[in-house]
Amino acid sequence: MLTFQDFERGGAALIPRIISEHQASELYQTALAADEYDRQKNTTIYNYVQTLFSLTGAALVDYTATNNRIASNFFHRLNTQRCEYLLGNGVTFGKATDAVKARLGVRFDTDLKRCAYKALIHGVAFGFWDYNRLYTFPVTEFAPLWDENTGALRAGVRYWRIDADHPATVCLYEEDGFTLFRGKDFSSVTVYQEKRGYKELVRFNRADGETVAGYENYGSLPIVPFWGSDLHQSTLVGLRNAIDSFDLIQSGFANDLSDCTQVYWLLENYNGMSDDDVKRLRDRLRFAHIASVDTMQGGSIKPYTVEIPFEARKAYLEHIRNGIYEAFGALDVSGISSAARTATEINSAYQPMDEEADDFEYQCIEFIGQVCKLAGIKDAVPVFKRNRVSNMTEQTEMILSAAEYLDRQTILKKLPFVAVDEVVEILKAKDREEGARLKEA
């Protein structure tokens, strides 16, 4: 693992090695696998082939066996649930929401959610703040350079390439600016654009219009690491084996239905038949469902059926499924949608999810705080409204019963059917309505 201090000693000549060592790292390999599982291309089941073993013990591919590959969508579903649960309603900043959102840009909620999702499935994502827009650098495109003394991110190399027939592009991000490189591949890139600052200073006059007057930097690297949890690892770790087990059992079930001969026959006293005779007899039984038997010679044909252990496999799949939801701390909606549930029952079902979301929320708060610092925003405290199923009637009645002890803004924030972004507009509309009523009076 190359550090920022290694880069200081070796300079830009280390870029090919930085990229190659990053791609060989466990973090990068796990991120690649996580992307495949996120696309429902679960690598274990997709690479699975049925094998036979010869008398010598050699493994041989069984080309005659059915090989259905049924990939589950647990990984994408569970990570989407956790991300949307916390960020589905966006982020607000209390009374300063309008001013802070105006500085962060209209796309901030969308960009934040995109970065947060990558942080969950990769373990970490990197948010690049570009004046009024947040861009996500995933692990599969960005090699970080950590300070070996403090552990802080001090520099990084972002790299991309459409395919082998097109040039490779590399961008080296440092605290005092960024440099662009290009080449036929990542091992042969050269400087394409010299180092320049992150902020472009533009001057305007009537004669020349807009001209670039110079560049400025942020004072620190404008790339912020966004960790998915305190564990600093992908959500695929630990979950992968359970998903693979579920996929293999489910696919094996489908394969058995195809491969299993539902009815087979045992022939007695037919040792004198040639292989061709046996095949003709088998075909007649399969297609005509009738065959003549020479009972005078003691021959007979006995049918047998094969029962697939359906109930056992169904119970095991359900056991694995429940274990996946429990281990991830996710909400299985089938447990609360079977009948009308009270608010207490629904809140109890959300408890494991809340515990995992609390950890994720701390990571979001720290990340947003660093982004706000880069944007020149001080004392901005992010507020989240979790996106959850609720017994709206019961919850609304509870809030209204305490309305005399609460102000209007608090009541609106607590109502389950009112989005956080709607509160300010509703209050303004109420003020206008009351003002008009006073004028009429």
- Using CA atoms, how far apart are residues 358 and 160, in angstroms rounded to an integer? 34
- What is residue 397's predicted lDDT score, i.e. its pLDDT? 76
The Cβ of residue 429 has, within 10 Å, a number of other Cβ atoms equal to 11
pLDDT band per the 50, 70, 90 thresholds, residue 351:
confident
The Cβ of residue 250 has, within 10 Å, a number of other Cβ atoms equal to 19
End-to-end CA distance of the chain: 75
**Of 98, 99, 92, nearest to 413 (Cα)?**
92
pLDDT band per the 50, 70, 90 thresholds, residue 389:
low
**Of 220, 183, 181, nearest to 11 (Cα)?**
181
- What is residue 347's predicted lDDT score, i.e. its pLDDT? 74
- Using CA atoms, how far apart are residues 416 and 422, in angstroms rounded to an integer? 12
- What is residue 255's predicted lDDT score, i.e. its pLDDT? 64
pLDDT band per the 50, 70, 90 thresholds, residue 50:
low
- Using CA atoms, how far apart are residues 414 and 400, in angstroms rounded to an integer? 10
User: Average pLDDT of the chain?
Assistant: 84
Q: What is the percentage of the chain residues whose pLDDT exceeds 70? A: 80
Whether pLDDT at 315 is above 70: yes
- What is residue 314's predicted lDDT score, i.e. its pLDDT? 83
- What is residue 284's predicted lDDT score, i.e. its pLDDT? 67
**68 and 254 Cβ atoms separated by less than 8 Å:** yes
Sequential DSSP letters for 372-423 = HHHTT--S---EE-------HHHHHHHHHHTGGGS-HHHHHHH-TTS-TTHH
Average of per-residue pLDDT across 12-21: 96
Q: Hey, where are the domains in the chain?
A: 261-307, 392-441
Q: What is the pLDDT of residues 55-91, one digit of tens each?
A: 566 665 555 555 677 889 999 999 999 999 999 989 9
Residue 129: beta bridge partners?
134
Residue owning tokens 């947060």? 116
Q: Which two tokens stand for residue 409?
A: 């803004």
Residue owning tokens 């102000």? 407
DSSP symbol at 225:
E
- What is residue 271's predicted lDDT score, i.e. its pLDDT? 59
Helix (H) or strand (E) holding 330: none
pLDDT band per the 50, 70, 90 thresholds, residue 192:
very high
Least confident of 141-155, 209-223, 334-348: 334-348
Whether pLDDT at 122 is above 80: yes
- What is residue 431's predicted lDDT score, i.e. its pLDDT? 83
Q: What is the percentage of the chain residues whose pLDDT exceeds 90? A: 50
